Amino acid sequence: MSAFWQRIVIAAIVIAATLIAAKLVDLVIGRRHLPPEAMTRYRVLRRSTVSAIVFVGILSALLVIPQVRAIAGGVLASSAVLALILGFASQRTIGNFVAGILIAFTQPVRLGDEVKVEGGQGIVEEIGLTYTWIRTPENDRLVVP
C-alpha cells in the first residue's frame, strides 16, 4: 500500500473515531432529565461540544495528508481577510447568535415566562441561538431576534 493510501486510511480512521466520540459525548450529555429552564443551557452546551469535537477531529484528519497541509497555510492566511469580510457582512446575525448564547446561559427570560416586546405580548415558547419564539394570546407565534 502506498504512503498516500496509508494516510487516507489514517484520516478515515480519525474521522470515524471523531464521529463516535462526538456521538458518545452527545448521548452522555443528553441523558439528563432537567427542568425546562436548564434545558436550553444544556442544548447549547451539547451542540457546541459536539460541533467542537467534530471540527477538531476533521481538521486533525485532514492534516495527516501532506497535500492538504501545504494548502492549509494559504487558507489560513486568506481566512483572516475572509473572516473580516464575513464579520462586517453578518454583524446583525452574529450579534443575534451571541445574544442567544448569552440568553441561554444567563436566562433573563425563561420558557413559560410572560413577556411584552415590540408592541406584542405572550409566553416564551422557545429560545434559540438567533431567535426567541413567543406564543401570543391569539395563539400566533411572534419571532423576536
Mean pLDDT of 46-58: 83
SS3 96: helix
- Contact yes or no for 61/18 (Cβ under 8 A): yes
Nearest to 44 by CA among 30, 54, 58, 56: 30
Does the pLDDT value for residue 74 go beyond 70? no
Estimate the crossing angle of helix 91-106 against helix 36-62, to 10 degrees. Answer: 130
- Report the pLDDT averaged over residues 83-93: 78
Strand partners, 133: 126, 143
Q: What percent of the chain has pLDDT over 70?
A: 92
Digit-coded pLDDT (tens) for 119-136: 778 888 877 767 788 888
Which of the four pLDDT bands, split at 50, 70 and 90, describes residue 76?
low
Sign of CA dihedral 126, 127, 128, 130: positive
| Residues facing residue 115 across a β-bridge | 122
Handedness of CA 102, 106, 111, 114 (dihedral sign): negative
- Residue 6 confidence class, pLDDT cut points 50, 70, 90: confident
**b/e code 48-85 from CB counts within 10 Å (16+ = b):** eebeebbeebeeebbebbeeeeeeeeeeeeeeeeeeee
